[in-house]
Amino acid sequence: NKELETNNFSDDSILGKLNSIYSKYSGNNPEDLESQLEDILAKATPPLEKNLSVIKLLAAVAPLLGLLGTVIGMIETFQQITLFGTGDPRIMAGSISMALVTTAQGIIAALPLILVHSIVAAKAKSIVHVLDEQTAGFIATSAESEKA
């Protein structure tokens, strides 16, 4: 009895492909069904997690670029102090401003990226969990029907 056959999944969706394999399965060995379903899952997971590493990398690099700007701004400030002394603070203000602005921009860029990475990673994990549960359900149902 294949109760799950009645579900209406799009044939293009991962759940549709899992359901199609389960519906067409007529073997006596649940391990065969499991390997076919696991093959679909193995192909489905990488696209879900494909851009997570890029988002994570950008979130890590943004503050470092801000820090680099800070260091460059401070080097420029010290060079101006060496050339002109500390008599006129306006000479140093531009370099210090650059240092602070780049730091702020790095942090401003990193915060939403960290948030987006967290949300997208949680959503991908949730989808993979649903697919795993569906696959386990198909395998368990197949194993029970083989015993009966």
* Alpha carbons 61 and 82: distance in angstroms, whole number: 31
Residues 6+ apart with CB under 8 A from 105: 66, 69
pLDDT tens sequence across 124-143: 999 889 888 888 888 888 77
Average pLDDT rounded to a whole number, residues 58-63: 94
Give me the count of residues in the chain. 148
Indicate the average pLDDT of the chain.
Answer: 84
Give the confidence band of 7 by pLDDT, cuts at 50, 70, 90.
Answer: low
Determine the 3-state secondary structure of 18 from DSSP: helix
* Alpha carbons 33 and 7: distance in angstroms, whole number: 18
Return the higher-pLDDT residue of 112 and 94.
Answer: 112
* Alpha carbons 85 and 123: distance in angstroms, whole number: 56
Is pTM beyond 0.85? Reply is no
83 C-beta neighbours (distance < 10 Å), count: 8
Contact 63, 112 (CB under 8 A): no
